[in-house]
Amino acid sequence: MLSIKNLHKQFGDLVVLDGIDLNVETGKVVVVIGPSGSGKTTLLRCLNVLETPNKGELQINNKVLDFSKKVTKKNIQAFRKQTGMVFQTYNLFPHKTAIENVMEGPVIVQNIPKQEARNKARQLLEKVGLGDKIDYYPYQLSGGQQQRVGIARALAMEPEVMLFDEPTSALDPELIGEVLQVMKELAEEGMTMVVVTHEMGFARDVADEVIFMEGGHIIERGHPADMFSRPSNSRTKEFLNLLSE
């Protein structure tokens, strides 16, 4: 299970996360929605400890980071290993092929022998539907294909939890479906996922819970069918109306 307790993050005087509490049970998918600037990316970056929260506690399985105490680099690394992040832009190494991009983490970070890492990377690229593109460079791949390499790359580290930050928002509309399909299959296989996305069809099909964030708070949470058809908070309602325009 992933557990977030009373998480606070500010940049200077700007309070971006103002006490976030969230539990995601193993195998569940939580979709996070909310207006630009509401703290969604910062929340994911805190879960991957790319940002250090000012206060609060994070837990995945038996690994705990309590930011009211001193956390060591070693603890941060152990925690970070449990999360895999997929970014809005793909951030692939441009001078490495698809398979080299996927192998990089296991070889460099986990010291896995190259041949073993290559075999695993090939399997992962097949899984995301790119078995015939393993030796292509990012510039030879479409945005949707690059993003699927990004997903394979995150999976190569065998995370407990996958974090997705608007993974389809930079894609042309016709390429969105292939990425969402891969994410849906991952969810069906039982991956625990926190997904920031405004793809409401995906949320409706795949999410166990939807979280609406605004101003660093969770304003409303619920099952997608309930929240989308009858949001209880007026801000949620306004936001969903804007999305469906």
Which one, 90 or 99, has the nearer CB to Mg ion? 90
Burial of 54 (0-12, 13-18, 19+ CB in 10 A): middle
- Enumerate residues 36-65 that contact Mg ion by CB under 5 A: 40-41
Distance CA 4, CA 15 (A): 17
Q: Residue 164 pairs with which residues in a beta bridge?
A: 86, 195
Which one, 40 or 153, has the nearer CB to ligand ADP? 40
Distance CA 141, CA 147 (A): 9
Site residues (vs ligand ADP, CB under 6 A)? 11, 14, 16, 34, 36-42
* Least separation in angstroms between CB 94 and Mg ion: 23
Which one, 96 or 235, has the nearer CB to ligand ADP? 235
- Residue 42's binding partner, choosing from Mg ion, ligand ADP, none, with beta-carbon cut-off 5 to 8 A by kind? ligand ADP
Which one, 37 or 113, has the nearer CB to ligand ADP? 37
User: Angle at CA 236, nearest 5°, toward 39 and 44?
Assistant: 25
User: Mind giving me the DSSP string for 144-158?
Assistant: HHHHHHHHHHHHTT-
* Least separation in angstroms between CB 56 and ligand ADP: 15
* Least separation in angstroms between CB 29 and ligand ADP: 19
- Measured from each CB, the residue nearest to Mg ion is 41
CA distance to 57, 89, 188, per residue, from 153 (Å): 27, 14, 19
- 11 backbone dihedrals φ, ψ, rounded to 5°: -110, 110
Which one, 125 or 213, has the nearer CB to ligand ADP? 213
Binding residues (CB under 5 A) for Mg ion: these are: 40-41
